Amino acid sequence: MNRYFKAEITKNLPLNSKNNLLTLFPLEPVIDPEPGQFYMIEVSDSYNPLLKRPFCCLRKTPDNMQFLFTVRGKGTALMKEFRKGQVIHLIGPLGSGYPEARKGCTPVVIAGGTGIASLFSFIERTPDSSRVIYGAKTKDELLMLDELRKAGIRLTVCTDDCSFGEEGMVDQIFMNFLRSNESIRTSCVLYACGPRPMLRAVAAIARDNNIKGYASLEENMACGFGACLGCAVNTVKGYKRVCKEGPVFPIQEIVW
Ligand SMILES: Cc1cc2nc3c(=O)[nH]c(=O)nc-3n(C[C@H](O)[C@H](O)[C@H](O)COP(=O)(O)OP(=O)(O)OC[C@H]3O[C@@H](n4cnc5c(N)ncnc54)[C@H](O)[C@@H]3O)c2cc1C
Ligand code: FES
């Protein structure tokens, strides 16, 4: 099956002033993505901007695909203007997804902001025993909460401005969680996606507590398929391309 396909926009729902939930209907057969894999989305049919932008698939059903996006710059501002009926091109699924947790390990998922998009389908597939810590700057920026509550997981939410859930950032909540869950500390495997400073802090806690796991990196990309080296990051095994060897890496492999 081809990774290059066309899809029709069926809905582009604003969730708040910065975030939209985009629903597409693929117009040709598509490959099912693994949780954590991503797509390059064409944001304009002109040459400005020329480059497609990378986004994780929030959810795929037999009929449609959903993406959650934050407006950051030119490309995502154009995506906010996507209209029902418009046809766009995508490439994907690309990159590596999240490996499943080994039997007997408890997945601990840590998401910051739109990092939840990368982890959402993983969460939907994980067992009830999974723990999820999800944080955002404000209550308004906590997305997909109702769906997460329905997933039957043990969810802790927090906001930087204390407007909802627990007070503090996800790394502090993760630290508190480890202090009060000694038995899980020795058997957990981490899955994290969010802003780089958050991932760095979570990786440091994981290292200090000898916890293994995975982080998905959201670097700027150009080609999206390994040709330009524009997305390379430093790892303990040398430079690696986020679009090809990633975006999901063992968390202790990244030189933070
Ligand atoms: C594998 C992968 C999966 C992603 N999945 C999602 C997703 O599901 N939802 C989502 O909202 N975003 C996701 N992103 C980030 C998204 O691709 C960028 O926000 C987007 O490309 C920005 O395009 P733009 O044209 O609007 O901004 P640009 O004009 O390219 O940049 C505007 C500003 O935003 C900054 N910027 C650009 N990209 C990023 C980034 N990745 N992180 C932080 N700052 C950035 C730039 O440095 C610049 O300051 C993902 C990125 C990767 C690599
Ligand atoms: S974006 Fe070109 S190599 Fe990754």
State the distance from the centre of ligand 1 to the C-alpha of 106, rounded, in angstroms: 30
Spacing of C-alpha 78 from chain mean position: 21
Residue count of the chain: 256
Tell whether ligand 2 has an atom less than 6 A from the beta carbon of residue 78.
no
What's the pTM? 0.94
Token pair of 238, please? 């040398």
Number of the ligand 1 atom closest to the C-alpha atom of 58: 8
What pLDDT score does 130 carry?
A: 83
- Best residue among 41, 94, 231 to mutate for probing ligand 2, ranked by most atoms within 8 Å of CB: 231
Q: Is the C-beta atom of 230 inside 6 A of ligand 2?
A: yes
Fold of 106-253: Rossmann fold (3.40.50)
CA of 108 to the centre of ligand 1 (A): 25
pLDDT score, position 222: 92
User: Which residues belong to CATH 2.40.30.10 in the chain?
Assistant: 4-94
The pLDDT score that the predictor gives to residue 117 is: 97
Contact 169, 146 (CB under 8 A): no
Enumerate the β-bridge partners of residue 55.
39
> Torsions phi, psi of 222, nearest 5?
-115, -75
State whether the beta carbon of 248 lies less than 6 angstroms from ligand 2: no
CA separation for the pair 67, 22 (Å, rounded): 5
Q: Ligand 2 mean position to 50 CA, how many Å?
A: 15
Give CATH 3.40.50.80 domain extents, the chain. Answer: 106-253
Give the separation between CA 234 and CA 201, rounded to whole angstroms: 17
Please give the pLDDT value at position 127. 67
- pLDDT of the chain, 256 residues: tens digit per residue: 789 999 999 999 999 999 999 999 999 999 999 999 999 999 998 877 888 999 999 999 999 999 999 999 999 999 999 999 999 999 999 999 999 988 888 999 999 999 999 999 999 988 677 899 999 999 999 999 999 988 888 999 999 998 999 988 999 999 999 998 888 888 899 999 999 999 999 999 999 999 999 999 998 999 999 999 999 999 999 999 999 999 999 999 999 9
Pocket test for ligand 2, best of 229, 239, 249 (most atoms within 8 A of CB): 229
> Looking at the CA of 94, which ligand is closest?
1
Q: What is the CATH number of domain 4-94?
A: 2.40.30.10
Residue 213 Cα, ligand 2 centroid: separation in angstroms?
Answer: 24
Mutation probe of ligand 2 site: the residue of 53, 225, 233 with most atoms within 8 A of C-beta: 225
- Ligand 2 centroid from CA 248, angstroms: 14
Do 208 and 171 touch, CB atoms closer than 8 A? no
Query: Regarding beta strands 4-14 and 87-94, do their DSSP bridges make them parallel or antiparallel, or are they unpaired?
Result: antiparallel
Inter-residue long-range contacts of 138-147, CB under 8 Å, 24+ positions, other chains counted: 138/163, 138/164, 139/163, 139/164, 139/165, 140/16, 140/17, 141/16, 141/18, 141/19, 141/113, 143/15, 143/19, 143/68, 143/114, 143/116, 144/58, 144/68, 144/116, 144/120, 147/120
